[in-house]
Chain A
Amino acid sequence: MKKFLLSLMLFVSAVSYADDYKYLIVEKKSGDLQTYALSGLTITMDNSVLTFQNTEVSDDKQQIADVEKMYFSETSAAIDALFSGNGTVEAYDLDGKKLGRFSSRQEMEQKLGRGVFLIKSAEGVKKEVMR
């Protein structure tokens, strides 16, 4: 029975997290990142242009020649942007309790584990769901 329960939990865990993308990130050849929420996302190809539509934008265009790649992400590129500055970030829980200071996203993920956090840096504040 224990083995069964363990297997079930692992399966539930795997399925739950495998399917929880929220964003499409467009990485341009310039290095810029553009984030689109997946909700209602349709990308239409017209000659050399991609037109993005979702619940937030209705006619956002990107030149195909400018796109390095696109990929799906659980987090917005805006979170990553918090680490783009030269300083560290601070993490808080939803009650405002400070949880730590981190110099890289990797370090932050390792030390915080799963949960919902507020991430603060010189670039701004973002709410992050960490799986």
Chain B
Amino acid sequence: MKRFLFFAIAILTSAVASAQSFSVKNDGVAYSFPLEKVGNITFGDGSFFLGGASFQQKSGLQMIYADDTPLKDNEVSVRYNGNNAEVVLAGNLAGLVEAQVRGAHVTLLQSPNVKEEITYTLCGQSSNGSLYMDGKLKATFVLNGLTLHNPDSAAINIQDGKRIEVKLAEGTQNTLSDGIRGENDGSDAHNACLYVDGHTELGGAGSLKITGNVKHGFTSDEYCIVKASAGTIEVVALGDGFHIGQYYEQRGGSVNIESAADGVDVGAKKDPTTEMNGQMIISGGKLSVKTIGDAAKGLKADASIEISGGDINIRCIGNAYYDEVEHDITSSATIKPGTTYTQTNGTVYAVATGIGGKVLNATGAVTFNGGKFTGASCGKVFKYGTDDTKPQGVKSDADIIINGGEVYVAASNDKGTAFKTDFTFAINGGTVMGLGGKTVTASASSTQASRKYTSANVAAGGTVTYDGVSFTVPQDYSNSAAYVIVSRPGL
């Protein structure tokens, strides 16, 4: 029996390996048919017909037989090679996907008549190439060892508007970079090196490096999900690292961002009924953000930010400044929710070193239910005339509630408060230590006791211990006369 199976499999393998294809190729674009689907090739007035598709008769057009495995239906291969690119489309897409190749600049236009999802696989390298795609149906893009630089526009610009899955082929390294606006930048869409007008789902166990030389690294005009299967995504950008509309959800993967503007910026849609509008949800994976611009935020959302897992590390070094347009001071913050911040699990390590920079600056309530939160603000007070903004630790325009987890916050010695609110600051559980340049008192409504100390000498990178609670502050932080608040169960 085993011998039979061996031979059967060997014959099957051999048969599959000897598949045959027939392509119609013109100007770097080929439609590839399995030979058995070609049927009769007939000629009409200026056209010819095969495999249920019609093609225009053109000088230079070639029909090529190949002893290889043809693409499956609804598959497209884009291969870059220096200043050239070659697009091969499954024969069933003839008349449904129009492909154009100009040097290594590829345009793919999906007909509204496309009924089944198409998978585009991109590979090869070009230092003067791009991909532009438009359509009306969801699509998948597989980056399978792609190095693509576009000197005068986005590297990849997808104007589909539907769910776009970007899959990083396992074991591959992919690199995208863009350039200043030029003659190829025919739309207003070039605000990112990788631009998706649609819902982006990032997955696949490969790696992707994005360099946004003009503005953002990656823009998803609607939601973006980093799937649990995602590999490593590295972004360097002059604007935001990730510029997301609707919502951002990270379930896995490793995202590393270094940006001049915000690390991850989630904007809300105008329609208030939009699902999860303006939210950021992190439930898994690693997220590392470093921002260098003035008033830049590490994680910014127009609505709530929820952390239920993952390992997050944020560092913002920019200073506050006076915004002449808004007539107000704007400052950096490692985390900036438009409404609430809630943490139930995961770890957050956040440091703001700029003048007036804050650790967490929320409009709505801040609630810690679990996980570990470590934050430090290290800058001085920012002053503009008679106005100023202080380098607070955790700041809210509503309540700050600690129900559980570990919360360690060191606010600047220059008038920084570890937990700053004009409303309720309640400690109901968890292990808590706050250090700062100003004292803070837990609300009387707190159900867990807390103690306060003064004049603690906190050395850079040193460990502070009170009542069995220890907090090792970042190297950027020091305070020779810190106010301390500490709390833990059983205190």
Contacts and interface: CB of A to CB of B under 8 A. Distances in A.
B62 A42 contact: yes
A31 B36 CA distance: 24
Contact of A12 (B15, B20, B36, B57): B15
Interface stretch (A15-23, A91-99, A104-112, A123-131): A15-23
B20 A38 contact: yes
A74 B48 CA distance: 23
B65 interface: yes
A46 interface: yes
A42 B40 contact: no
Interface string B71-115: 000000000000000000000000000000000000000000000
A57 interface: no
Given A44-B60, A69-B42, A19 B65 contact: no
Contacts of B59: 45-47
Q: Is the interface of A mostly helix, strand, loop or mixed?
A: mixed
Given A19-B19, A24-B65, A9 B8 contact: yes
A72 B64 contact: no
Interface in A1-60: 5, 8-9, 11-12, 15-16, 18-21, 24, 38-47
B40 A15 contact: no
Interface string B33-77: 011101111110000100000000111111111010000000000
- Using C-beta atoms within 8 Å of the partner chain, give the interface range for chain B: 20 to 34
A11 B18 CA distance: 15
Interface in B5-44: 8, 11-12, 15-16, 18-20, 22, 34-36, 38-43
A15 B12 contact: yes
B38 A72 contact: yes
Contact of B40 (A8, A12, A40, A69): A69
Given A19-B18, A45-B57, A71 B8 contact: no
Contacts of A16: 11, 15
Contacts of B43: 64, 67
B8 A21 contact: no
A70 interface: yes
A44 B18 contact: no
Contacts of B4: 5
Given A19-B19, A21-B20, A71-B41, A64 B35 contact: no
Interface residues of A, number: 29
Given A12-B8, A41-B65, A71 B40 contact: yes
Q: Is the interface of B mostly helix, strand, loop or mixed?
A: mixed
Contacts of B8: 5, 8-9, 12
A70 B36 contact: no
Which of B20, B36, B65 has the most CB atoms of chain A within a 10 A radius of its CB? B65
Contact of B35 (A15, A19, A46, A47): A19
A46 B58 CA distance: 7
Nearest to B61: A45
Contacts of A68: 42
Nearest to B12: A12
Contacts of B48: 64
Nearest to A48: B57
Contacts of B18: 19-20
Contacts of B60: 44-46
Which of A12, A21, A41, A46 has the most CB atoms of chain B within a 10 A radius of its CB? A12
B431 to A, nearest CB: 60
Contacts of B11: 12, 16
A44 B42 CA distance: 15
Contacts of B58: 45
Contacts of A24: 65
B20 A19 contact: yes
A8 B8 CA distance: 8
Nearest to A9: B8
Given A64-B57, A69-B41, A43 B36 contact: no
A70 B40 contact: yes
A42 B41 CA distance: 14
Interface in B162-197: none
Interface of B: 4, 8, 11-12, 15-16, 18-20, 22, 34-36, 38-43, 48, 57-65, 67
27 contacts: A5-B4, A5-B8, A12-B8, A16-B11, A19-B15, A19-B20, A21-B35, A21-B36, A38-B67, A40-B65, A41-B64, A42-B65, A43-B64, A44-B61, A45-B63, A46-B59, A46-B60, A47-B59, A64-B43, A67-B43, A69-B40, A69-B42, A70-B41, A71-B38, A71-B39, A71-B40, A72-B22
Closest 3 A/B residue pairs (Cβ):
A70-B41, A41-B65, A16-B15
